[in-house]
Amino acid sequence: MPNYTQPITDLIQQRFSCRKYSREPIPVRMQEKLRSLMTEVSSGPFGTSMRFDLITAEGQDGKALRGLGTYGFIQGVSGFVVGATGTGQQDLEEYGYRMEQILLAATDLGLGTCWLGGTFTKSAFANKIALEDGERIPAILAIGVIQDEDSARNGVMRL
């Protein structure tokens, strides 16, 4: 369970699906915190095995990430959280629970996030996380520095 610095109910209320990012790299200190949290996760709350990884743009080079494919729905993003789950009776719920914990930790750091369950190229992300037999990627997170909160909150997709 992550140690949030704010009440979880405040984080839930602050958070929105951000689709416009500033292209700045995620500060290294934040990357370290998120990676450290992810290394603690090896299973869901009911014991299904799962793992998560943070993929970030190197320096200012967002091109490599753009090549991963989000069908133009996400602008200026500088990272993704990709996860892979094994099979279990409630694997999707478990995966969602763990991903949401990571998402709220990112919100606590002031970062923007957007769940992507449909608008991403599965094969590209499968490659990034070295997906194994018996695993699948139900959804990923776009993650990055929010460009302008008002404009990001009022984007067409979100409305």
Ligand X SMILES: Cc1cc2nc3c(=O)[nH]c(=O)nc-3n(C[C@H](O)[C@H](O)[C@H](O)COP(=O)(O)O)c2cc1C
Residues that bind ligand X in the complex, under the rule CB under 6 A: 16-17, 73, 114-119, 139, 157-158
Q: Which residues contact 28 (CB under 8 A, 6 or more apart)?
A: none
Minimum distance of ligand X from residue 93's CB (angstroms): 11
Q: What is the largest CA-CA distance in the chain?
A: 42
The Cα–Cα gap between 75 and 19 comes to: 6
Specify the residue, 4 or 16, whose C-beta has the smaller distance to ligand X.
Answer: 16
Question: Contact at 8 Å (CB) between 94 and 46?
Answer: yes
Specify the residue, 59 or 118, whose C-beta has the smaller distance to ligand X.
Answer: 118
Minimum distance of ligand X from residue 158's CB (angstroms): 5
Specify the residue, 36 or 122, whose C-beta has the smaller distance to ligand X.
Answer: 122
Minimum distance of ligand X from residue 54's CB (angstroms): 18
Q: What are phi and psi of 30, to 5 degrees?
A: -70, -40
Specify the residue, 14 or 36, whose C-beta has the smaller distance to ligand X.
Answer: 14
Q: Which residue's CB comes closest to ligand X?
A: 117
